[in-house]
Amino acid sequence: MENVKAYYSNAPVGGIDFKNKNINDQGNVLLKPLLTGICGTDRGIVNAGLSFAYNPEGYNFLVIGHESLCQVIESESNQFKSGDIAVPLVRRPGNCPNCLIGRPDNCSDGDKHEAGITGLHGFMREEFKDYDYNLVKVADPSLGDLGVLTEPTKNVVKAFEVFEKVSSRSIYYNSSSTLERKKALIIGTGSEAFLYALLSRDYGFETYILNRHPIEKNKMEMCQAFDVNFVNSSEDNDFPDKSSIDLLIDTSGDPGTVFGFVRKMNYNGIAILFGTNEKAPVGTVTGSDIDHIVERNITIAGSVDAARIHYIKALNYLSKWKKQYGNVLNDMITGYYKPGDLDLFRKKPDGEIKSVIRW
Ligand code: DN4
Ligand code: BGC
Ligand code: ZN
Ligand code: ZN
């Protein structure tokens, strides 16, 4: 069984040999990217701030781009035809038990790969090949360009799966069976933070999104449209006035900020750490912080990536939100750029929620 790669569902046993090959040479579907989203991970790789990223074996470079909306050009698969719109999966399984059951997002030995991030070339190229079992079809034509948000949204859907599992350890919902007046605080105001805010509202949380400076007009308007409250932590030190945060989601990776708010969490609170920032200043956790976490049964969980099911659910959420919020949702894409606009990787454009490259 050594070196045999097994894949879930209809995927063949003995799939990609990762050694000396890359994803773009193999597959039964030829794809052309339409849009590529840019995120904190891409900027981390380009600016040498992500130590876990590495090149494919045998290469001294990595093609980046993991948030892709593609069109099928040619297909030898009966599941796709030319003209179909598809989103490729980022993470490709290794051989651990979680990878073998279709949950490489929960890989138990780290022997997996991520396109455009860890050991596999990504999708920022004019065309590439992939296998049908690595592609999720975008069936709703009304989504249009918003299909490019499938990849970042899938992370959020998985993190809420973590929330559901942890919250089931005790009675977390109100006796009215809802989450009304339960407080969710999301740290950060980037694309992932706004997607978390949308899903948090969907669950019924009273939702707050936070940064340590004011946010631009377009973001304020988006908060209003989504019924989300913005907190500027540099002006409002007292938020929340008592320990009342039921769900804390961090997209900043800043330990000082995270533990500042863990101190303000409610009984049975759940904190999900999602942001990574190797350059963040060191934070302090005190004995009374640990006391607070223990005495209140607070859980702090990490969440990374997502599985195929979360991409499918992400597409359903995006279709639902498109109906609910109309063109406001389109405003999540704050800028279209060309493949050669390299400044995009060094500096965030003002008011950026999601910048995309149009091919
Ligand atoms: P992003 O747009 O850079 O979002 C980070 C946000 O955090 C920005 O709005 C920052 O504001 C804000 N921020 C930074 N420091 C603080 C602070 N001290 N207090 C409040 N807000 C702060 O990146 P993204 O939305 O694309 O991704 C968010 C994070 O999640 C990144 O660290 C990614 O590496 C990570 N990520 C993880 C996964 C996964 O686990 C997937 C995708 C992304 P400003 O500094 O821009 O003003 O699967
Ligand atoms: C991607 C995830 C990936 C994570 C860490 C994120 O930007 O969305 O799929 O697991 O980076 O590499
Ligand atoms: Zn990303
Ligand atoms: Zn694994």
- What DSSP string runs through 222-269? HHHHHT-EEEETTT-TT-SSSS-EEEEEESS--HHHHHHHHTTEEEEE
Give the three-state DSSP class for 105: helix
Paired with 72 in beta bridges are 31
pLDDT-derived band at 218, boundaries 50, 70, 90: very high
Q: Where are the alpha helices (DSSP H) in the chain?
A: 40-46, 97-100, 150-167, 191-203, 217-226, 255-262, 287-295, 308-325, 327-330
Atom of ligand 2 lying closest to residue 52 CA? 12
Q: Which two tokens stand for residue 148?
A: 């490019």
Average pLDDT over residues 295-304: 98
Percent of residues in the chain assigned helix, strand, coil, to nearest 5: 30, 25, 45
Q: Which two tokens stand for residue 124?
A: 């920022």
Q: State whether the beta carbon of 135 lies less than 6 angstroms from ligand 2.
A: no
CB distance 122 to 69 below 8 Å: no
Q: State whether the beta carbon of 68 lies less than 6 angstroms from ligand 2.
A: no
Q: State whether the beta carbon of 167 lies less than 6 angstroms from ligand 2.
A: no
The per-residue pLDDT for 13 is 36
In this model, does residue 27 exceed pLDDT 70?
yes
Per-residue pLDDT tens over the stretch 166-207 = 999 999 999 999 999 999 999 999 999 999 999 999 999 999
CB distance 33 to 123 below 8 Å: yes
Most confident stretch, 17-21, 53-57, 58-62, 326-330? 326-330
CATH architecture of the domain with residue range 154-302: 3-Layer(aba) Sandwich (3.40)
CA of residue 64 to ligand 2 center, whole Å: 12
In this model, does residue 4 exceed pLDDT 60?
no
The per-residue pLDDT for 12 is 37
CA 204 to chain centre: 21
What's the mean pLDDT when you consider all of the chain? 92
- If one residue of 208, 236, 252, 352 were mutated to test the ligand 1 pocket, choosing by the most ligand atoms within 8 A of its CB, it would be 252
Enter the DSSP assignment of 11. Answer: P
- If one residue of 155, 251, 354 were mutated to test the ligand 2 pocket, choosing by the most ligand atoms within 8 A of its CB, it would be 155
Nearest to 315 by CA among 193, 132, 151, 158: 151
Per-residue pLDDT tens over the stretch 225-246 = 999 999 999 999 899 989 999 9
Q: Whole-prediction pTM value?
A: 0.94
Instruction: Give the start-to-end residue ranges of the domains of the chain.
Output: 29-137+326-358, 154-302
pLDDT-derived band at 85, boundaries 50, 70, 90: very high
Q: Which residues of 25-62 are buried (b: 16+ CB within 10 A; e: fewer)?
A: eebbbbbebbbbbbbbbbbbbbeeebeebeebeeeeeb
Name the CATH superfamily housing domain 29-137+326-358. Answer: Medium-chain alcohol dehydrogenases, catalytic domain (3.90.180.10)
Query: pLDDT: is 13 or 262 the higher one?
Result: 262
